Every structure is written in structure tokens, then in C-alpha cells.
Structure 1
Amino acid sequence: MGVNAYLQQAYNTESYREMYSQEQLEIAANLPSYITAAFAIAVFGGVLSSILLLLRKKLAATIFYVSLLAVLVQMGYLLINGYASSIGMTIMIILFAIFLAWFAKNSINKNWIS
């Protein structure tokens, strides 16, 4: 879902434009580039880490932590500036990223991945 959302925003697709009001589209278009970069790192890092976790690679934990940092930067910016359209969804994304980073680290500690 995250990769799809990022690609739709990055390519400004018609279906992306139909989902949001003109005001929301203007906010997204005027976000600082580091927030867009954090969005990309968060979603692509999450996908890569998930694949590495399935392959039982320790590198998954490191990339999950990088992805978590990117999530915190992006979502923190949106929350602080009042741009989060759904506080519940924003918090859920943060909690899910924290859980995945913890789970990967815990998997290393329990020798489930090497």
C-alpha cells in the first residue's frame, strides 16, 4: 500500500488526484523534498526489509530501523504541521513501523534469522 501511495504521488496519477481535494494536493506538491525522500525511504525500506525478513537475513533489522526513522521524520512533519488527514492512520503507521523494527531485532535475539 505504501509503495502504491508513493508511486501515485510521485507520478501525480489521475487516480491520486481524484482521491484528494485541491487543497490537499497543493500541500503534497509543496512538501519539502526531504519529506518526499523520507516517504520513499520509509516505504521502499519497509518492503526491502520485509523481503529480507522472509529470507531470514539479519540485515532486515537494520533496514527496518532506517525505515522507522524515515517514518518518524515524515509522520512527525505531517503531525506537527497539521497535514495528517487521519491522526489514527498516522499513529497506526508509526506503531506498525516500531513493531516491525522490534520484531526483526527480537528475531535476531532468538536466532530465528541469521
Structure 2
Amino acid sequence: MNGTMEIPRSRGFWLVAIIALVWNLIGVAMFWMQVNMGAEGLARMTEPQRQVYEATPAWLNVAFAVAVFGGVLGALGLLMKKRWAVTMFFVSLLALLVQMIGAYLVTPAWDAYGPAGLVMPVVLILIALLFWRYAQKCVVRGWLV
């Protein structure tokens, strides 16, 4: 026995950790589908969507990978009660920002999607921000070691 008492976590803690894991695993699936898209997938896209896809440089896909796998590691860190979850969620958030801003700067995303196309990136960034802030609060509460 190490003489320290473990601080109990609420059911909400476990619920948020599981939701974060599922959410980021969905992101991994989206990443996998994007980087392994074949001719059939490209054929189903509209012309503007195909132009965005074809104009996407490899470094944006790297940022996408870092964002989703960083988020998975952050969620696993929460489930394992480790404070490095905060770092992983922060890395995920930064990579997501690079990916989203980069997509609008170096591809014809604005022409393809217009202002309405910003809704999903903003939602994704807000969710990533919330996971990071939640992990920070978990450290303050003593739930992560």
C-alpha cells in the first residue's frame, strides 16, 4: 500500500471518457476512409468536393492523423486516469486547428463549401477544446495522476 487515498471519480467522468474515446475512434475511421479512398469514392463526390480532395497536401493528412490519434490517446489517458491526457488532448486540438485552417488556406474548400462549410470545423474545434478543458479540470480535481 502506498499510503495515498484515491479520489473517487463521478459517473460523469467515466461517461465523458467513453464518449471522448468513441468520438475520436469515429475520427480515426474518417481519417482511414479519407486516406484510403478509391476511385469509387472519388466518383461519388461532387466536382468541387473532388477538387478539394485532390488539392489536399500530405501534411494536412498528417495533421488529421495527429488530431484523431492524439484524441484517442487523450481519451485512453482519461480512462487510465493519467494526467498526460491533457497533453494529448492539447496536441489533438492544435493539430485539428492546423488541419482546418490549412484546408481553407491551401485547398479550394471555401469555393466548394462556402460559409456553411465552416459549421462542422467549428463544431469539431469546440468539441476538441471541451475535451482538453475537461481533462484540465480533472487534474485540478485530483482525478488524474
Indicate the residue corresponding to 2:48 in structure 1. 23
Distance change >3 Å, CA 19–CA 63, structure 1 → 2 = farther
Indicate the residue corresponding to 2:28 in structure 1. 3
- Give the superposition deviation at 1:46: 0.6
Separation (CA, whole Å) in 2 of partners of 1:49 and 1:68: 11
- Asked if 1:46 corresponds to 2:71, the answer is yes
Give the conservation status (yes or no) of the 8 Å contact 2:60–2:103: no
Deviation per CA, 1:43-66: give whole Å up to 9, x if none: 111111111111111111111111
Indicate the residue corresponding to 2:129 in structure 1. 98
Distance change >3 Å, CA 43–CA 18, structure 1 → 2 = farther
- Asked if 1:109 corresponds to 2:134, the answer is no
- Give the superposition deviation at 1:26: 3.3
Distance change >3 Å, CA 39–CA 103, structure 1 → 2 = same
Separation (CA, whole Å) in 1 of partners of 2:121 and 2:142: 32
- Give the superposition deviation at 1:13: 4.3
- The gaps in structure 1 that reach 5 residues or longer are none
- Give the superposition deviation at 1:17: 3.4
Rg: which structure is higher? 2
Q: CA RMSD, aligned part only?
A: 2.0
Distance change >3 Å, CA 19–CA 60, structure 1 → 2 = farther
Q: Indicate the larger mover: 74-83 or 92-101.
A: 74-83
Q: Indicate the larger mover: 84-93 or 102-111.
A: 84-93
Indicate the residue corresponding to 2:98 in structure 1. 73
Aligned residues: percent identity? Answer: 32
Structure showing greater relative contact order (alpha-carbon pairs closer than 8 Å, 6 or more residues apart): 2
Indicate the residue corresponding to 1:35 in structure 2. 60
Alignment: residue pair count: 114
Give the conservation status (yes or no) of the 8 Å contact 1:64–1:97: yes
Distance change >3 Å, CA 15–CA 91, structure 1 → 2 = farther
The runs of 4+ residues in structure 1 deviating greater than 2 Å are 13-20, 78-82
